[in-house]
Amino acid sequence: MLDVESLEVSYGAVRGVRGVSLMVRKGELVTLLGANGAGKSSTLMAIAGAVRAAAGRVRLDGEDVTGAAPEEMVRRGVAAVPETRDVFPDLTVAQNLQLGAFTRRRDQAGVLHDRSEHFRRFPILAERQRLPAGNLSGGEQQMLVIARALMSRPSVLLLDEPSLGLAPIVVDQIFGMIRGLKESGLTILLVEQNAAKALAVSDRAYVMRLGRIEAEGPASEIAAATELKSLYLGAEP
C-alpha cells in the first residue's frame, strides 16, 4: 500500500535520512524504531509531504506521490500526527476536529457521525468540546490530534511518538486505541521510542540507525533479537 524506496532527507548539509526503503501492506501496523536522531520522524514527515525528500520515491497504491504537498497527501488518504502534538490551541476541541475533516467538508452528515464516534471513544473530548484545545492536558491533546487525523477518514495513518511524555496510564490508553484502529483495518506506520509497547501491537518493525535501516522483520523477531535492543534504546553496541 505504502512503498518507500531509497528515501533521503537533508537539512542543509546534514543528511538526516540516507536511503531508507520500507513498505507497509494494507491493514498492517508497522513500527519504525531507533534512537533519537536516527531519522525516524524525518522519514515519516517526508512521507506525509511536510518535509521535502532530497531523493527517493514514495508510492501509494503503486502511484508515485513523491514531493506531493501535505494537503495533497491528506486528499489521497494519508493522515499524519507529528510528534509535536500540534493542536490549534485557540480553537475549540470541536473546531479542531472539524478542521481534521476539511477535505470532507461537503459531507457534513458523515463528519458529524464520525465526530460523535470519536466523542464516544474519548468521552473526555466530548466533555471539553467547547473549550480551547490549548487547555487540554498532554494526554487529552494526544487523543485529540489522533482523533483529528482520523476525521479525514485516512487509509494510512502515520503516527509519530504518540506516547511521548505521557503518564504510563495514558500511554496504555493510547496503545489500546492504536490496537483498536489496527483491528478496524486501518494501515498504520508508527514511530515510537517505547519499543516494547510498540512491538507488542505491531505486525512488523524496522530499526533505524543514523539515517539508515539496520534491521527489519516481524515484530516478535525484532523484539526477541537482543542484539538490536541497544540500537533502538539508544546505546552504542
Partner 1 sequence: MNAAQFVLDVLSLGGAYALMALGLVIVYGILRLVNFAYGELIMVGGYTMFLVSGSGLPWLVMAGCGLTMAIVAGIATDYLAFRPVREKSVTAVLITSFAFSTLLQNAALLFISPRPRAVPLPELFSRTVEFAGVITPARNLITIAVAVIMLGLFSWLMRSTALGIAMRAAATNFRMARMMGIPANLIISAAFAISGLLAGTVAILWIGRIGTVVPGIGLEPLLIAFIATVIGGMRSLSGAVVGGFLLALIDTTLNYTLPQDLLKFRDAFTFSLVILILLWRPEGIVRGPASGQRT
* Interaction site with partner 1 (CB under 8 A): 48, 50, 69-71, 74-75, 79-80, 82, 84, 86, 88-91, 95, 98-100, 102-103, 105, 134, 148, 152
Cβ of residue 158: shortest distance to partner 1, in angstroms?
A: 10
Which is closer to partner 1, CB of 90 or CB of 227? 90
| DSSP summary character for residue 50 | S
Shortest Å distance, C-beta 76 to partner 1: 10
Give me the least distance between CB of 200 and partner 1, in Å please: 28
C-alpha angle 27-93-116 in degrees, rounded to nearest 5: 55
Min separation Cβ 227 and partner 1, Å: 36
In the bound state with partner 1, the residue whose beta carbon lies nearer, of 61 and 71, is 71
Q: Which is nearer to partner 1, 99 or 215 (CB)?
A: 99
Closest CA to 232 of 190, 203, 186: 190
One DSSP character per residue, 2-27 reads: EEEEEEEEEETTEEEEEEEEEEE-TT
Q: Which is nearer to partner 1, 88 or 121 (CB)?
A: 88
Place of cell 515510537: 192
Report residue 69 as a C-alpha cell: 504537498
Task: Give 15 or 153: the residue with its C-beta nearer to partner 1.
Answer: 153
Q: Please work out, in degrees rounded to the nearest 5, the angle formed at the alpha carbon of residue 79 by the alpha carbons of 73 and 83.
A: 120
Locate all alpha helices (DSSP H) within the chain, ordered by sequence. 40-48, 70-75, 93-100, 108-121, 123-127, 138-150, 168-183, 195-201, 219-224, 226-233
Sign of CA dihedral 183, 161, 100, 104: negative
Min dist. Cβ of residue 98 to partner 1 (A): 7
